[in-house]
Structure 1
């Protein structure tokens, strides 16, 4: 939820920046008109309540009864306006920082840097599905039989690679003060809304368990973020960094016809996520640190990648600034998104009522940030394709060899 005072006090600037994220200027005007009406009615109600107290002290029963009827009527009107006002405010995305690239789509994103050398094969490279099938690492045919499309079995060394990626991420990030956490994979609707994920619900991308009134989390951040909902932390404890692992679920309702084969865009995937609760004065610095951790993790896997700053029209709804890391996929001769890294400022904290108490004794809203450590399925794709060998095997990056127990995957299994 955005800071309403930014709309009230810096209307033109806030409106201009919100428009770059796709919000119509009329919606800002509608909200401000409703907000003005709401504040006026609050003042009128306070006046009537004060008058009611006066009559009550004077034991003027008749006058008190008359005013009490008016107070009840005004309270109901305010309740209805508050509901309308709150519903309208949920449609407002976070306001982007002024220096974020302005644009309407991914075509306007800005490549900041490319890192690493793309593999030069002396043979015709295979795509990950072919490698996965030949080495019996990925089975999407049988998973379709069991669960339908957009699922996949990981088997044999692919499972060991996943476990290795998880352990590598946790070991690396714990050295930087990250606390390990395993979050729930289900979340109450109110918490998902508070996290600024209303579009995730309204666009039918979330799986919903109606009987229990719970959504399946679409990302690890969805349930790590509400950890301190309704709580107040001490300023001295900031930043608080968490690294979590969970299985995530998405209907991929808006991606019909895109990446329908394989494990790139699936209903169920595993993810290692970084999440930070930060001081507002230091959240941009924390954002750069999270991005640095991401780059270190990708580089440790000996993968070529690029860092992209996301434009206003393509960034996430709760984000004030967003970076993506895209990793090179040889079979497609292009980079594909494998990581995102976002500073949501106080947008989520306001919805969650998550605060910290400063040294002055005053409470303030936290800033929250999230960053992918490893989206497992996508990293497996990058590992298989970039590290394939001429004999049809897969070279294991040095940092994962101790976890996987081998230097190369090179022999298909005999099981059917």
Structure 2
């Protein structure tokens, strides 16, 4: 259902617009693109073949232009012919040209479809400061707080079961493995985390949005959510052209698809709440216990649309907001500049935040932020009109950025394990307490 190969016609029909890829610019940078794909360990396109197809496209376009010009000349000659015999000759020539035009148009359309299919699989450029290599090459930018490492600390599953706030067994009966019920104070904790993150983002100028959980499959493709070669899809397909959103980033991006904004309207900042659905195909392993890797979870997502000049500053704003959220919660966490092999197709640069999870005795990802430059906007036709246009300057593609404000299950793990007490209770961070019922200390007992 979730096809890797898309035709130009199918893509346009599904989302109502045509991705705007610059085939000649991509061809001119074929060598750099190949090196970038190798650095990302994600070689998905034979750029030699891509260059050949683009040369063929340009040749066919020139042929078509010449044929159309010739057809116009023959049409004028036909009208000017003074004898029946001469007119018949021109009509026959015109019919031959018409047949040639049709053949060249069909060849051109097929060639452009081949270029589009390949072009959509080319990942974004990579920031020059991003580390090269696998996850082990991630650069630690900052560590906030001190890891809690005393003996006898419990993991979140043992803590949650002792407090009766988590039911994994019946969730497996109701929905399958890797689903869960949060109950009692666990349910209120989720709502508190969502409220806190939404309010915190709103205080920084982000407009709140409740997003749909079902999106067009091609919108997910346009955002860069494509499985790597040899891997199963991470997306739940529900119909021929719809799927469950893997993150609110997708419907938030869809809110701007096909839009032409004025430069004065930018940047636009949104904070969206939605549910994330992940098949986690190929992702099962040592990190799957309890809430760490699940198929459905609540998530608060930050999303911004900017001009080219605004995107670097916007990434710094999102990072600062995320850092403040986790600092105010009292967590120990670190910020990582992620290496090339950990960048999704859309990310130009990406930073992850990992919390220290004492019960697991290791760091666990709780957030990330990415600058996608114009990768998504070219595929979703998100453009802006510059305030001052000079010469032949036309509309430009926007830059898009995204970041996680709150991934609820991972945050619950960090809170339960960080603030656990020897008597089995857990002290809840002060910034969450106003959204929880009970005593001021808000201990789970």
Residue 113 of structure 1: aligned partner: 142
Q: Which runs of 5+ in 1 are unaligned?
A: 412-416
Matched, 1:43 2:75: no
Distance 1:131 1:3, change over 3 A: farther
**Which of 80, 101, 105 lines up with 1:71 in the alignment?**
101
The equivalences for 1:10-409 within 5 A come to: 10-24=29-43, 27-59=46-78, 60-103=90-133, 105-119=134-148, 121=150, 124-199=152-227, 203-210=232-239, 213-361=241-389, 362-405=394-437, 406=439, 407-409=441-443
Distance 1:265 1:45, change over 3 A: same
After TM superposition, give the deviation of residue 382 of structure 1 in Å. Answer: 0.3
Structure 1 residue runs of 4+, over 6 Å off? none
2: distance between equivalents of 1:189 and 1:325?
28
Determine if contact 1:55/1:63 at 8 Å carries over to the other structure.
yes
Determine if contact 1:203/1:253 at 8 Å carries over to the other structure.
yes
Structure possessing the higher radius of gyration over alpha carbons: 2
After TM superposition, give the deviation of residue 342 of structure 1 in Å. Answer: 0.3
Determine if contact 2:436/2:442 at 8 Å carries over to the other structure.
no
After TM superposition, give the deviation of residue 390 of structure 1 in Å. Answer: 1.9
2: distance between equivalents of 1:198 and 1:53?
45
After TM superposition, give the deviation of residue 404 of structure 1 in Å. Answer: 1.2
What is the DSSP-based 3-state SS (H/G/I as helix, E as strand, rest coil) of the residue aligned with 2:360?
Answer: coil
Determine if contact 2:23/2:115 at 8 Å carries over to the other structure.
no
After TM superposition, give the deviation of residue 43 of structure 1 in Å. Answer: 1.3
Q: Which runs of 5+ in 2 are unaligned?
A: 1-18, 79-89
1: distance between equivalents of 2:315 and 2:22?
20
Distance 1:25 1:189, change over 3 A: closer
After TM superposition, give the deviation of residue 4 of structure 1 in Å. Answer: 3.8
Determine if contact 2:305/2:401 at 8 Å carries over to the other structure.
yes
Distance 1:258 1:49, change over 3 A: farther
Q: Residue deviations 1:228-272, cap 9 Å, x none?
A: 111101101111000000111111002133434311101111100
Residue 414 of structure 1: aligned partner: none
Determine if contact 2:385/2:395 at 8 Å carries over to the other structure.
yes
Number of equivalent positions: 408
Determine if contact 2:44/2:121 at 8 Å carries over to the other structure.
no
What is the DSSP-based 3-state SS (H/G/I as helix, E as strand, rest coil) of the residue aligned with 1:372?
Answer: strand
Superposition RMSD in Å: 1.8
Q: TM (normalized to structure 1)?
A: 0.94
